[in-house]
Structure 1
Amino acid sequence: MASIDLDKVLDKAWADKDLTEILAAPVAVLKGVSDRDGELLQEAFGVKTVADLAELKYVRWAQALAALEAAK
């Protein structure tokens, strides 16, 4: 299983939180995602939380396409 440096992907205040809490948090806890970005994701795709973003079919499709390209 791959590891991830939470300090690099989360706002500083969230890096020491439990993963369950992070997944339930608004997407703005991700570095580089503003509150406004979160509002736009909710308006466009119904994404409210980090878990919602991870489960978004368009994200999964894009990841699958990138994996196919990498496997060439």
Structure 2
Amino acid sequence: MALSVDLAKKLDKAYEDKTLAEVLSAPPSALAGLTEKHDQLLAELGIKTVRDLGTNKYFALAGVLSALANHSG
């Protein structure tokens, strides 16, 4: 099954045409709205790539809790 997702407005312009693997290996500033300063701050938490950010247990938990809150009325 093919899956297509338009991430153009969610990524920094420099990463809009990159593959998923390239984006996941990129610094967090590849995401629209984050800067190199954010890269430095996140690196202090051991987060150096978009993949690290997405798989960080604290960020993942916060995302799940937020999603639950949106569905719990």
Q: Greater share of helix residues, 1 or 2?
A: 1
Residue 48 (structure 1) aligned with residue 30 (structure 2): no
Residue 29 of structure 1: aligned partner = 30
Cα shift at 1:5: 2.6
Residue equivalent to 2:40: 39
State percent identity of aligned pairs.
46
Unaligned runs of 5+ in 1: none
Residue-pair matches, total: 70
Which residue matches 1:19?
20
SS in 2 for 1:6: coil
Equivalent in the alignment of 2:11:
10
| TM-score, with length taken from structure 2 | 0.86
**Divergent runs of 4+, >4 A:** none
**In structure 2, what is the Cα distance between the partners aligned to 1:26 and 1:67?**
25
Residue by residue over 1:7-28, the C-alpha shift from the partner in whole angstroms, topping out at 9 and shown as x without a partner, is 1111112111100011001111
Structure 2's unaligned 5+ residue stretches are none
Structure 2 CA distance, aligned partners of 1:68 and 1:59?
14
> Would you say 1:61 and 2:61 are equivalent positions?
yes
Structure 2 distance, partners of 1:29, 1:4, is 16
Question: How many Å separate the matches in 2 of 1:65 and 1:31?
Answer: 23
Q: Distance in 2 between matches of 1:3 and 1:61?
A: 26
